[in-house]
Amino acid sequence: MTNQKTIAVLPFVNISNTIDNEYFCDGITEEIINALAKIKDLLVTSRTSSFYFKNKKVTSHAIREKLNVATFIEGSVRVSRNKMRITVQMIDAENDFHFWSETFDRQVGDIFAVQDEISLFIAERLREYIGHIEIEDKLVEPLDVPVAIYREYLKGRYFLMKLGYDNTCKAIEIFEDIIKKAPNFPNSYLDINQGYTYMGTMGLLPAFEAYKKAQPYLQKALELDPYSSRSQLNLSWIECWQNWNLKKAYEHANNALEMQPTDDIYLTISNFLTVEGKLDAARNYLDKALQLDPYAAINHHYKGFLYYLKEEYDSAIPYLKKALDLDPMLPFPPIYLGISLLMLGKSNEALAYFGSLKGISVIDLTKLGGETMCYAKLNETEKCNDGLKELETYLTTALVDKALTFLILVNALLGNNEKVVDLIEQAYNSRLPLILILNPSPILKPIKNHKRFKEIMLRAIPDNNNYKFSKKYKQSLLSDVEINRYSTDLEQIMMDYKLYLNPDLSLKDLASYLELPANYVSQLLNQGFQKNFAEYINIYRVEEFKDRIILEENSELTIMAVAYDSGFNSKTVFNTFFKKIEGITPNTYLKNSKAN
DSSP state of 242: I
- Number of neighbours of residue 386 by Cβ within 10 angstroms: 14
Q: Which CATH class is domain 345-474?
A: mainly alpha
C-alpha distances out from residue 571 to 555, 564, 577, 581, Å: 19, 9, 10, 15
CA torsion sign for 468, 316, 264, 126 is: negative
CA torsion sign for 316, 317, 319, 324 is: positive
Question: Residue 258 burial (CB < 10 Å; 0-12/13-18/19+)?
Answer: middle
Encode pLDDT of 57-84 as tens digits.
889 999 999 999 999 999 999 988 888 8
Print burial letters for 337-358: b (CB count within 10 Å at least 16), e (below 16).
bbbbbbbeebbeebbebbeebe
Nearest CA among 341, 354, 271 for reference residue 306? 271
Q: So what's the pLDDT on residue 322?
A: 96
DSSP readout, 328-387?
A: TT-SSHHHHHHHHHHHTT-HHHHHHHHHH--THHHHTTHHHHHHHHHHHHTT-HHHHHHH
Q: So what's the pLDDT on residue 566?
A: 93
- In this structure, are residues 267 and 285 in contact, taking their beta carbons and an 8 Å threshold? yes
Q: So what's the pLDDT on residue 463?
A: 53
pTM assigned to the model: 0.78
The matching CATH number, chosen from 1.10.10.10, 3.20.20.140, 3.40.50.2300, 1.10.10.60, for 480-595 is 1.10.10.60
Nearest CA among 343, 338, 324 for reference residue 369? 338
Q: How far apart are the first and last CA of the chain?
A: 37
Strand pairing of 13-14 and 43-44?
unpaired
Residue 87 identity? T
The region, left, alpha or beta by phi > 0 then psi within -120 to 50, assigned to residue 468 is beta
Distance of alpha carbon 299 from its chain centroid, rounded?
Answer: 10
- Residue 71 CA to residue 173 CA, distance in Å, equals 38
Print burial letters for 458-477: b (CB count within 10 Å at least 16), e (below 16).
eebbeebeebeeeeeeeeeb
DSSP state of 76: E
Encode pLDDT of 441-457 as tens digits.
999 999 988 889 988 98
Q: Which CATH class is domain 6-142?
A: alpha beta
Name the phi and psi angles at 43, rounded to 5: -95, 110
Q: So what's the pLDDT on residue 476?
A: 58
Residue numbers in the chain where pLDDT is lower than 50:
464-474
Q: Provide the residue ranges of all domains of the chain, joining segments of one domain with +.
A: 6-142, 345-474, 480-595
- In this structure, are residues 360 and 203 in contact, taking their beta carbons and an 8 Å threshold? yes
- Residue 347 CA to residue 260 CA, distance in Å, equals 44
Beta bridge partners of 79: 84
List, in order, residues 6 or more apart from 276 with CB less than 8 Å away: 246, 439, 461, 464
